[in-house]
Amino acid sequence: MINRAEFKKQIPRGYMKLIANKAGVGNQAVYKYFNNTLNSERIEMAALELVSEMKQKKEGFVKILNL
């Protein structure tokens, strides 16, 4: 099971709105999910996908800079 407090720390500022858009829910639903007052697999999957994409982009940039 995902520790939501730790997971929330990995999400950059402004990403909550992106997660809401990707999951097709309102911003409040995402905040409730990360404050453990709402359970939603859709929000969890959207958040995981966005964080994964962000990390892949970051790794790509690091490779480019280390040429």
Total count of residues recorded for the chain: 67
| Residue 15 CB burial class (10 angstroms; 0-12, 13-18, ≥19) | middle
pLDDT tens for each residue of 3-57: 898 889 888 888 999 999 999 999 999 999 999 999 999 999 999 999 899 888 8
C-alpha distance across the termini of the chain, in Å? 38
pLDDT at 59 over 90: no
**Calpha distance 56→30 (Å, rounded):** 23
Q: How far is CA 18 from the centre of its chain?
A: 8
